[in-house]
Amino acid sequence: MQAAYFLERLGYLRFDAEASRAKLYVDLARMVNAGEQTRACHLRLARAKEAEIVTLDRMAEAVLDRLIALHPRY
């Protein structure tokens, strides 16, 4: 039961990270279209957000693998 809760929670966290990443890319596109210069910190934020999503995916995969391993086989 706890594994299912963690999978659900990781799903919500991943969704939030995806939404944040999308907003970041939209903001960067608006800055570029407006002729403003993007700073390296903006690009580092995008890379960090990508890494966060990958980490959440790996955590969810590990929980799912553990859940499958604990599932009784008939």
Range of the domain at 57: 2-70
Average pLDDT over residues 2-28: 88
Per-residue pLDDT at 71 exceeds 80:
no
Whole-angstrom Cα Rg for the chain: 17
Q: State the total domains in the chain.
A: 1
- At residue 43, φ and ψ (nearest 5 deg) are -70, -35
- pLDDT at residue 74 in the model: 54
Lowest mean pLDDT among 7-16, 42-51, 65-74: 65-74
Structure tokens at 39: 């700073």
pLDDT tens per residue across span 20-66:
999 988 988 888 888 887 777 878 888 888 999 999 999 989 888 88
Q: Give the whole-angstrom CA distance, residue 56 versus residue 41.
A: 22
Per the CB < 8 A criterion, the answer to whether 66 and 3 are in contact is yes
Per the CB < 8 A criterion, the answer to whether 28 and 42 are in contact is yes
Task: State the pTM of this model.
Answer: 0.73
